[in-house]
Chains A and B, each alone.
Chain A
Amino acid sequence: MSTKDDNILTELAVEEYKYGFTTDIEMDIAKKGLSEDTVRFISAKKSEPEWLLEWRLKALKHFEKMSMPQWQNFKHPKVDFQDISYYAAPKEKPKVNSIDEVDPELLETFAKLGIPLDEQKILAGVVAVDAVFDSVSVKTTFREKLKEVGVIFCSFGEAVREYPELVKKYLGTVVPQTDNLYAALNAAVFSDGSFVYIPKGVNCPMELSTYFRINAQNTGQFERTLIVADEGSYVSYLEGCTAPMRDENQLHAAVVELIALDNAEIKYSTVQNWYPGDKNGIGGIYNFVTKRGICRGDNSKISWTQVETGSSITWKYPSVILKGDNSIGEFYSVALTRNHQIADTGSKMFHIGKNTRSKIVSKGISAGVSQNSYRGLVQIGKGAEKARNFTQCDSLLIGDRCGAHTFPYIEAKNKTAKLEHEATTSKIGEDQIFYLNQRGIDSEKAVELIVNGYAKEVLNQLPMEFAVEAQKLLAISLEGSVG
């Protein structure tokens, strides 16, 4: 590679992550360390009821008993749980009622991120946003309008205060405190998150969206999302994330629980763009997230779509438990890794009910010296008559020092099950690039075009506004990866 290219690459390493700024804002940060006192401190800060504190403490006990998993396809980084601050929030000001009272610094931050918090300024008004800043919900827009149709969309803290029965009924029913190490940690120390309830028969009139932002140093972000879609309802939910550039690794251990009752449908989309670390692999977010949905009712449907371009390590398996008869689970994923990034991601589909169907489409793209793994489980239970699964996991390699891996687990215990799994690995063909070059498209644009074509099946699943953003994100992330 010529020196000119090297220069461009160096510039890109600085330029490419455009959300890497920090916001100077007065913060309320808890002392580092994890203990019963930390949990009590967070619970007290949020003025939580006794049952929730008990629930958290139970989770902490489990966490302390658990050991680090060993099965993942990367070396687990050392995480010192005592060196993290478990609570960071913009300094408490009197409760805000209108947009004018929100700290202008904060508004500016979200404006930079392209998240319009100011309701009046949004003409189209199709997306309601819950902005989470260092794991505390700052502002939820369009609440009133949503309330008219009965949709509850608020921060987790508010939900605990205002709708305790609903929260109590569903919290931890899909991802119990004991599920895994990071789920237990989250249950013990989660500071906020979003809560959504769609009542019977309601088709949520707008896209709901959460925007996560890590700002403070040495903190971890632990938020919890709980979405309940009651009988016959529909909701589409989007999640986006960014963080400043720092040299140390920060931990993001979230839990997302989805519950779909009879005939309900939940569509959950993620565009994950946490800071991936610099080109030498220094810094970046550890994104260790537990996401799981349950199709509890008959004819219900849960669909996960994710575009993962950020984080130094992404480690998550959005899953669906297909309990109701005729229920459907879907998973669409594009995971792009480059430099020293690692992704170990995929999906799990548990078929329990009759005539359940699931589909997994996973597209991995690895460049640089990154490692990209697909790990998935399709399990057909004894009673899952006529269950059907289709899995496709493709890998695209850019460069000769990266890795692409697939670890599919397929378990069938019913003789009427039909499953298909296929995987391919390939690189971008020189002939493909040549073809585009001939038509006056430079190599970098050509790769962008080919990758977008490759990921199209997944990008098509995203709501339109997000699809455009995701395409741009893929393009930015690919810059400089063609030598």
Chain B
Amino acid sequence: MITQVSSSLYHQLTTVFDDGLAIKGDLEPLASLRRNAFARFQETGFPTLKDEDWKYTNLQPLLSKNYLLRDNLPGKSVSIEKAFIKGLNPYKLVLVNGHFRTDLSDVVDEQGVSIYSIEDIHQHKLSLRHFAQYADKTDNPLVALNTALHEGGLVIEIEKNITLRRSIQIIHVASSSETIFNQTRNLYLLGNNTKAEILESFITDDIGLSLNNTVSEVVLEENAHLQHYYLQTANSQSSYLNHTEIHQKKHSLYNNYNCTFPGSAFIRNNINVRLDDSAVESHLYGITLTAEDQLVDNHTIVDHRKPHCESYEWYKNITQNTSTAVFNGKIFVREDAQKTNAFQQNNNMLIGEKSTIFSKPQLEIFADDVKCSHGCTMGQFDDDALFYLRARGISEEKARVLLVHAFAFDVTEKFSSEPIREYVDHLIEEGLIIEQ
């Protein structure tokens, strides 16, 4: 299934793998995990438009480039100011092309929290037990590729009964003067009765093109609470393939806020939540503002496997210029998952003359005593609302900004942190192109 176009990166990767470079000195079970994963990747190759999950998202142009598969300048200095959020003082952890840079990062001096580079995972029994146990069960070939050839990434382990005093901000910097392919791997483990807030900012710093294939696995043990933000502000030189797999235990709560702004040329987010115990709650919020030629594709899966769980999903897209937004939300309610409440909503504002929106809100239900609903709308500026504001002396430009803010408010009001809401509101305003 390997087409001519994708052969260049595909062959490059095969060569790297066959040379044994990836496995290096890896101990078991990591070495066999990598080997098995690469075999799985080779079976399918890169996904094409013929795959249902990639129907609207063409990877081929990205695969025809000649990539540098390893950072040739580790340790170089980068600027991270772009990711700073006014009014928020988190522990900043900096990853440059996936590599954890302790020299640029804050020290997290909280009891019961250990943070280390994924390269050191073989020294940690607990993390090793969870590593590659969740995301690899999906059939995403990019996850298999990441498991096989990942380099760099972060592990956060929070011991039970710990509540983090400050939030953690992970700043992912893509920085290279050449065309680079990064494969970062993260693992976040939250023990029983823990509470944490993790922000992940994606920024770029340098002129080279980058393709970032990131996989994160998140495990929430009983009664763990996690607020998880994605703040995507990278520039048009960068492309992202993010896969996040969340595994939840009893009474846990997971909130994901996925915010994407004009910049990065190509973004594909897979966010999968497995509610694998009773009384679990998950919330997925998304706000996407696109411009120019951007393509932003958000795929989510909410998988209800056990009874008495609740999920709530709300994604909003605003497309400008010639950009494209894709939303695919799947909700599964398995046979066992009686008394499930699942809600999903996708609203779109199509502003750009030549922009496109593809939406596929999907429900698959195998249990009868459930309440599930989904809704999807597409529209644009409401002329009546615009007129109302204009009649009150508000300029057209200002009125449009107001209306977009109002549209986004359903999602931004759900944010757990005030400074982040202000930060996002500001980015929306900045990203809006108002035609005079």
Which residues of A line the B interface, CB within 8 A? Answer: 71, 382, 395, 397-427
Residues of A within 8 A of B367 (CB): 397, 400
A421 to B375, CA, bound (A): 5
Question: Among A71, A417, A425, which residue has its beta carbon within 8 angstroms of that of B371?
Answer: A425
Given known pairs A408-B362, A411-B358, the reply for A420 and B335 (CB within 8 Å) is no
Residues of A within 8 A of B354 (CB): 382, 413
Q: Is B130 an interface residue (CB 8 A)?
A: no
Residues of B within 8 A of A401 (CB): 335, 366
Q: Which residue of A lies closest to B357 (CB)?
A: A412
Q: Is B72 an interface residue (CB 8 A)?
A: no
Given known pairs A401-B335, A419-B378, A424-B373, the reply for A410 and B365 (CB within 8 Å) is no
Q: Mark B337-353, 1 if CB is under 8 A from A, else 0.
A: 01000000000101111
Given A403-B364, A415-B353, A418-B379, 4 more A-B residue pairs with CB atoms under 8 Å apart are: A400-B335, A424-B372, A425-B373, A427-B370
A425 to B362, CA, bound (A): 12
Q: Shortest Cβ distance from B381 into chain A, in angstroms? A: 9
A145 to B369, CA, bound (A): 54
Q: Is B361 an interface residue (CB 8 A)?
A: yes
Residues of A within 8 A of B348 (CB): 412
Pairwise interchain contact B374-A406, C-beta atoms closer than 8 A: yes
Pairwise interchain contact A406-B350, C-beta atoms closer than 8 A: no
Which residues of B line the A interface, CB within 8 A? Answer: 52, 335, 338, 348, 350-380
Chain B CB within 10 Å — which of A382, A404, A405 has the most?
A404
A290 to B2, CA, bound (A): 33
Number of A-B pairs whose CB atoms are under 8 Å? Answer: 110
Q: Which residue of B lies closest to A391 (CB)?
A: B376
Q: Shortest Cβ distance from A118 into chain B, in angstroms? A: 47
Pairwise interchain contact A395-B358, C-beta atoms closer than 8 A: no
Q: Shortest Cβ distance from A373 into chain B, in angstroms? A: 8
Given known pairs A412-B348, A424-B372, the reply for A404 and B365 (CB within 8 Å) is yes
Q: Shortest Cβ distance from A405 into chain B, in angstroms? A: 5
Pairwise interchain contact A421-B358, C-beta atoms closer than 8 A: no
Q: Shortest Cβ distance from A145 into chain B, in angstroms? A: 48
Q: Which residue of B lies closest to A414 (CB)?
A: B350
Pairwise interchain contact B363-A423, C-beta atoms closer than 8 A: yes
Pairwise interchain contact A406-B362, C-beta atoms closer than 8 A: yes
Q: Shortest Cβ distance from A254 into chain B, in angstroms? A: 27
Q: Which residue of B lies closest to A418 (CB)?
A: B379
Q: Which residue of A lies closest to B332 (CB)?
A: A405
Question: Among B351, B363, B366, B378, which residue has its beta carbon within 8 angstroms of that of A410?
Answer: B378
Pairwise interchain contact B363-A420, C-beta atoms closer than 8 A: no
A399 to B365, CA, bound (A): 12
Residues of B within 8 A of A410 (CB): 357-360, 376, 378
Pairwise interchain contact A403-B375, C-beta atoms closer than 8 A: no
Q: Shortest Cβ distance from B53 into chain A, in angstroms? A: 11
Pairwise interchain contact A397-B368, C-beta atoms closer than 8 A: yes
A424 to B371, CA, bound (A): 8
22 interchain pairs (CB within 8 A)? A398-B368, A399-B368, A402-B366, A405-B364, A408-B359, A410-B376, A410-B378, A412-B348, A412-B358, A413-B356, A414-B350, A415-B355, A417-B378, A417-B379, A419-B377, A420-B375, A422-B373, A423-B373, A424-B373, A425-B372, A425-B373, A427-B370
Q: Shortest Cβ distance from B151 into chain A, in angstroms? A: 35
Question: Among A395, A400, A409, which residue has its beta carbon within 8 angstroms of that of B338?
Answer: A400
A425 to B372, CA, bound (A): 5
Chain A CB within 10 Å — which of B354, B355, B372 has the most?
B372
Pairwise interchain contact B370-A412, C-beta atoms closer than 8 A: no
Q: Shortest Cβ distance from A462 into chain B, in angstroms? A: 27
A425 to B333, CA, bound (A): 11
Q: Shortest Cβ distance from A218 into chain B, in angstroms? A: 35
Q: Which residue of A lies closest to B355 (CB)?
A: A415
Residues of B within 8 A of A422 (CB): 373-376
A71 to B366, CA, bound (A): 19
Pairwise interchain contact B366-A408, C-beta atoms closer than 8 A: no
Q: Which residue of A lies closest to B369 (CB)?
A: A427
Residues of B within 8 A of A421 (CB): 359, 361, 374-377
Residues of B within 8 A of A382 (CB): 354
A398 to B380, CA, bound (A): 39
Pairwise interchain contact A415-B362, C-beta atoms closer than 8 A: no
A410 to B360, CA, bound (A): 6
Question: Among A405, A409, A427, which residue has its beta carbon within 8 angstroms of that of B363?
Answer: A405
A424 to B373, CA, bound (A): 4
Given known pairs A401-B335, A421-B361, the reply for A415 and B352 (CB within 8 Å) is yes
Pairwise interchain contact A409-B369, C-beta atoms closer than 8 A: no
Residues of B within 8 A of A427 (CB): 368-370
Residues of A within 8 A of B362 (CB): 405-408
| 3 smallest beta-carbon distances between A and B, as pairs | A397-B368, A421-B376, A419-B378
Q: Shortest Cβ distance from B407 into chain A, in angstroms? A: 14
Residues of B within 8 A of A399 (CB): 368
Pairwise interchain contact B52-A402, C-beta atoms closer than 8 A: no
Given known pairs A71-B52, A417-B350, the reply for A423 and B374 (CB within 8 Å) is yes
Pairwise interchain contact A416-B377, C-beta atoms closer than 8 A: no
Residues of B within 8 A of A413 (CB): 354, 356
A414 to B348, CA, bound (A): 12
Q: Shortest Cβ distance from B154 into chain A, in angstroms? A: 37
Question: Among B351, B366, B373, B377, which residue has its beta carbon within 8 angstroms of that of A403?
Answer: B366
Q: Which residue of A lies closest to B336 (CB)?
A: A400
Pairwise interchain contact A423-B357, C-beta atoms closer than 8 A: no
Q: Which residue of B lies closest to A420 (CB)?
A: B377
A415 to B350, CA, bound (A): 5
Residues of A within 8 A of B52 (CB): 71
Pairwise interchain contact B361-A426, C-beta atoms closer than 8 A: no
Residues of B within 8 A of A397 (CB): 365, 367-368, 370
Residues of A within 8 A of B351 (CB): 415
A255 to B184, CA, bound (A): 52
Pairwise interchain contact B365-A425, C-beta atoms closer than 8 A: yes
Q: Which residue of B lies closest to A413 (CB)?
A: B356
Pairwise interchain contact A415-B380, C-beta atoms closer than 8 A: yes
Pairwise interchain contact B368-A400, C-beta atoms closer than 8 A: yes
Residues of A within 8 A of B358 (CB): 409-412
Residues of B within 8 A of A415 (CB): 350-353, 355, 380
A403 to B337, CA, bound (A): 12
Q: Shortest Cβ distance from A323 into chain B, in angstroms? A: 21
Q: Which residue of B lies closest to A411 (CB)?
A: B358
Residues of A within 8 A of B363 (CB): 395, 404-406, 423, 425
A401 to B367, CA, bound (A): 7
Pairwise interchain contact B365-A403, C-beta atoms closer than 8 A: yes
Residues of A within 8 A of B373 (CB): 422-425
Q: Which residue of A lies closest to B333 (CB)?
A: A425
A420 to B379, CA, bound (A): 9
Chain B CB within 10 Å — which of A401, A402, A411 has the most?
A411
Pairwise interchain contact B356-A419, C-beta atoms closer than 8 A: no
Pairwise interchain contact A400-B376, C-beta atoms closer than 8 A: no
A401 to B357, CA, bound (A): 35
Q: Which residue of B lies closest to A395 (CB)?
A: B365
Q: Which residue of A lies closest to B380 (CB)?
A: A415
Question: Among B357, B359, B365, which residue has its beta carbon within 8 angstroms of that of A405?
Answer: B365
A423 to B369, CA, bound (A): 16
Q: Shortest Cβ distance from B24 into chain A, in angstroms? A: 39
Q: Which residue of B lies closest to A424 (CB)?
A: B373
A125 to B280, CA, bound (A): 62
Residues of B within 8 A of A71 (CB): 52
